[in-house]
Structure 1
Amino acid sequence: MGWLWAIIVGFVLGLIAKAIIPGKQHSPLWLTTIFGILGAIVGNAVARGLGVAETRGIDWSRHVFQLVAAIIIVFLGDMAYMALWGHKKHRV
């Protein structure tokens, strides 16, 4: 069940990050989901490192760290995707 939640959270974080980043992102949905999963992992690690990983109620600070990490990872990941595979799609 943990993997299912990781995929769902990664999907949602990736979509929110894509919506926040200005301009069009070209990475496919499956890759955006992976970027979102990575953002959740990095955000959790940062929150744990700062001592805010576990709080009473909803962990808003942890979610903010996850979202910021997802935004950064989706942005950089999309740039890498376009640098590596973007030119191949535009030739067709």
Structure 2
Amino acid sequence: MSWLWMFVVGLLVGIVAKFLMPGKDPGGFIVTGLLGIGGMFVGGWLSGLLFGTGTIGGQIQPAGFIGGVIGAMILLALYRMFIRKKA
């Protein structure tokens, strides 16, 4: 059940990140959900670097909603650069 919940929250984070960074993106809701989940972990990692939080026992913990959106926006920008260079 926690995987399903993480995907739903990741999907919401990914949707907000795509809304804040308008433009044409390849991929559907699965890619959006994966970007959101990845963004939550990138946000947790950045939180650990900047504020000394985000890790428990050396493992990166997911960030909150705002940190997840920031992380998802970073991943979305990287995703767009990679896809455009490939195409």
Normalised by the size of structure 2, how large is the TM-score? 0.70
Alpha-carbon distance in 1 for matches of 2:39, 2:81: 16
Shift of the 21–66 alpha-carbon distance from structure 1 to 2, 3 Å rule, reads same
* % identical equivalent positions: 29
Please give the residue correspondences for 1:34-73 in structure 2 after superposition, counting only pairs within 5 Å: 34-49=34-49, 50-53=51-54, 62-73=64-75
Residue 52 of structure 1: CA displacement? 4.8
Pick the structure with more strand per residue.
2
Q: Which amino acid is 1:66 matched to?
A: G
Pick the structure with more helix per residue.
1
Please name the residue that 2:3 is paired with. 3
Please name the residue that 2:57 is paired with. none
Alpha-carbon distance in 2 for matches of 1:3, 1:82: 31
Alpha-carbon distance in 2 for matches of 1:9, 1:73: 16
Calculate the aligned-residue CA RMSD, in Å.
2.4
Question: Secondary structure, in 3 states, of the residue corresponding to 1:38?
Answer: helix
Cα deviation, 1:24-43, whole Å, max 9, x if unaligned, reads 22233211211111000111
Gaps of 5+ in 2: 55-62
In terms of Rg, which structure is larger? 1
